[in-house]
Amino acid sequence: MGSGAFALALALALALALVACVSPAERKCQLSGLWRNEQDSLMEISALTDDGGFQGEYLTRVTLAGGCPRVSPLKGAQQQPREVASPTFAFTVHWDTFSNATTTFTGQCFVDASGREVLSTTWLLREAVGSLEEDWKATRVGRNVFTRKRAPKGKILHSLSPSCEDVASP
């Protein structure tokens, strides 16, 4: 083996040794990417900006009005994007055309003991109501846990969105 090949092999061995020494608790959780929750909804988050801002898309498998879900835009921010291993974040989803509701999520990004990235979130969903007297029933609260879904780079939610043309109109 030539000296260049030996040096490369040694560098790779050292890099693998360093990666193996990093425990899941020391790994940083990265918010960007494709995520799936326990209801089989999908969320794709773009790369974070320097100030922690991000955008993305959300494809829900749950709808309030029984309408055909479409990919909906989301916008949010992550706290201390470069400083902590398990950052907190918040984002809002504007349900696009099939619902009269808006949902805000807040949570934290973790790496569990097995090295899996997890987003633990709590959400508030606000549905429009006709009057102040109905305000009591307008907000719902819930919890979702998202896990990273490995997928090719790029926007893929539109290809996973159901065909609404196939859904019969009431």
| pLDDT means over runs of 10, the chain (170 residues) | 60 49 64 92 90 91 65 90 83 82 94 94 94 95 94 62 52
* Residue 142's CATH number: 2.40.128.30
pLDDT reported for residue 94 = 87
pLDDT reported for residue 169 = 43
Whether residue 170 lies inside any domain: the answer is: no
Whether residue 139 lies inside any domain: the answer is: yes
Whether residue 10 lies inside any domain: the answer is: no
Among all chains, which residue has been given the structure tokens 């990265």? 30
Beta strand segments in 128-170, E: 139-148
Q: Are 120 and 142 in contact (CB under 8 A)?
A: no
Q: Which two tokens stand for residue 118?
A: 């997890």
The whole-angstrom distance between residue 139's C-alpha and the CA centroid of its chain comes to 22
- Structural domain containing residue 115: 33-157
Give how far Cα 147 sits from Cα of 1, 10, 15, 39, 50, Å.
Answer: 43, 34, 27, 12, 24
Whether residue 60 lies inside any domain: the answer is: yes
pLDDT reported for residue 114 = 92
Whether residue 15 lies inside any domain: the answer is: no
The helix (run of H) or strand (run of E) holding residue 159 is helix 157-160
First to last CA, the chain: 72
Model pTM? 0.74
Whether residue 11 lies inside any domain: the answer is: no
Whether residue 164 lies inside any domain: the answer is: no
The count of structural domains within the chain is 1
pLDDT reported for residue 57 = 92
Whether residue 145 lies inside any domain: the answer is: yes
- Find, among 147, 127, 140, the residue nearest to 38 by Cα: 147
